[in-house]
Chains A and B, each alone.
Chain A
Amino acid sequence: MSRYELRFSGSGGQGLITAGIIMAKAASIYEGKQAVQSQSYGPEARGGSSKSEVIISDGPIDYPKATMVDALLAMTQEACDKYTHDLKEGGILLVDSDLVTKLPTTGNYRIISFPIINTAKTDVGREIVANIVALGAMVALTGQVSRENAEKAVLSSVPEAFIELNRKAFSIGYERALAASA
């Protein structure tokens, strides 16, 4: 069974549920695979810890939540501390290097870090697309969907006026992750 599990975690309002939805949509609508996206979040509209999980498979997906995570994105220190426990040995851990300063000391992970939010702010021009920068990076690191299909999913999920901004965010995230993991 080709089950691949991704988790996007951080704090509420960072757009991580959206990032998860777009990843799942890329796999399920554009890549021809099967995908399920689920989430858990607190009652707050902003803040609080938030996670979005995506399961990608070639066949039907039964259990919709993560069992052993293949790739984890942590956008806050709290998320990194809380959600690394079920990351697979050798799994991918992508963190925002400005926000996550204490990396896990146990476990053998492939850790990739770069300043995700700051990249959105300075290189793309808007902090609000940090989730798409992170998504671009996750697409590059996991290889579960092609760059083209992921970009299609991004562009079909954002308002018309923000297409160029998101295209740029996705592309920069993708390139930065490749550079950071090289």
Chain B
Amino acid sequence: MSKKVAFLQGNEAAAHGALYAGCDFFGGYPITPSTEVAEVMSIELPKIGGKFIQMEDEIGAMAAILGASLAGAKVLTSTSGPGLSLKQELIGYGCIAEIPCVIYNVMRGGPSTGMPTGPSQSDVMCAKWGTHGDHPAICLTPASVQETYEEVIRAFNLSEKYRTPVMVMPDEIVAHMRERIVFPEQGEIEVVPRKSPTVPPEQYKPYDTSFGDVPPLASFGSGYKFHVTGLNKMQDGFPTTKADIVQAEEERQVRKVDANVDDIVTFEEYLLEDADVVVVAYGSTSRSARYAVNIAREQGVKAGMFRIKTFWPFPDKQIKALASKVKGIVIPEMNLGMCSLELERCAQGKVPVLGIFRVDGEPINPDQILEKIKEVK
């Protein structure tokens, strides 16, 4: 049987990916350039008995998905820069209370309302540092319509596996462009279910580390009662200021991601075996980079590309290894140098990191990248 194909926008693919992953609750507030996700979810969720709710603002939307997740739903919200800023307080709440959820944020630039219909990649730091305090961060940056579909599914899986909010951040180009997509069959892509308690309600503790760094999460309404707070908490969920408990719990929360980077971090290596110059790129910019690398190769320049698929946790290990191998790193990004900082940190001064930074709402074109590749000596 031939597979179902369609010609879809990145945002539409994201919504369908969420449905494949079992998403049954969407809470959001419309904002360009992410609104199509809400549109598709508002049409599709009622058909499968799911719930769609448009809240009064982005903060309310974030609160709604956290609540729904605690009641056992698989939840999604979609937004863009200004909305992401508003959600930050509750994203932190999701991190400390360890509530699985997926936040799909289309990068349109800023600060503030910026340029609503223009592309950008300037929210990547906000994915890690937007909410205060030490906390785990997972952020995926897809580069095509098909990949957006698949990465949204992976985001749901990671959020359940590590019991933490996960972000998917396409730039506006990926979110709004249309390509052919091939839908996987049911069962073709793994869907990770939530780890439910194995103990009776009277013995249940929501942060019981005897089950490991990711304790099972009971659903409200299933007979299990527990306390949820944004304060530092004990294993039973009630607040504490006991130094040793707070220290251990904070470390555990961050460790959920830090100890599992090899499971979470994904990337693509393109023509790197003999490369003198590596272009590190993510999202739509990686498509310009691949084009530029191909032209450079035709002209006899040994260029390659390292494409970041998982932006957080950052692929430290891989970049460190590359920095000892190549003569220079080129980083094109639609911001004034965010990934660039991470690359410099990983490169530790071993090789130059040359940035191409654009914030004028125009994509970085292959010629700009090619020119920079040739600057590496």
A→B interface (CB under 8 Å): 21, 24-25, 28-29, 34-43, 62-65, 67
Contacts and interface: CB of A to CB of B under 8 A. Distances in A.
B117 A42 contact: yes
Contacts of B284: 64
A64 B367 CA distance: 14
A168 B193 CA distance: 51
A43 B173 contact: no
Interface string B346-373: 0000000000000000010111000000
A43 B177 contact: no
Contact of A63 (B6, B116, B288): B288
A35 B294 CA distance: 19
Interface of B: 5-7, 32, 116-118, 173, 176-180, 284, 287-288, 290-291, 294, 363, 365-367
B180 A35 contact: yes
A80 to B, nearest CB: 20
A67 B366 contact: yes
A38 B173 CA distance: 7
Contacts of A34: 180
Given A35-B180, A36-B179, A29 B173 contact: no
A36 B178 contact: yes
Contacts of A42: 117
Contacts of B178: 21, 24-25, 36-38
B7 A24 contact: yes
B287 A64 contact: yes
Nearest to A1: B294
Contact of B287 (A28, A37, A62): A62
5 contacts: A29-B6, A36-B179, A39-B176, A64-B173, A67-B367
Nearest to B290: A62
Contacts of A36: 177-179
A117 B173 CA distance: 30
A71 to B, nearest CB: 18
B148 to A, nearest CB: 13
B7 A43 contact: no
8 closest residue pairs by CB, A with B: A38-B177, A62-B291, A63-B291, A25-B7, A37-B178, A62-B290, A28-B180, A62-B287
A37 B177 contact: yes
A56 to B, nearest CB: 12
Nearest to B32: A43
A24 B179 CA distance: 8
B290 A29 contact: no
Contacts of A37: 177-179
A29 B179 CA distance: 10
Contacts of A41: 117
Given A25-B7, A38-B178, 20 more contacts: A21-B178, A24-B178, A28-B7, A29-B5, A29-B7, A35-B180, A37-B178, A38-B177, A40-B118, A42-B117, A43-B32, A62-B287, A62-B294, A63-B290, A63-B365, A64-B177, A64-B284, A65-B173, A65-B365, A67-B365
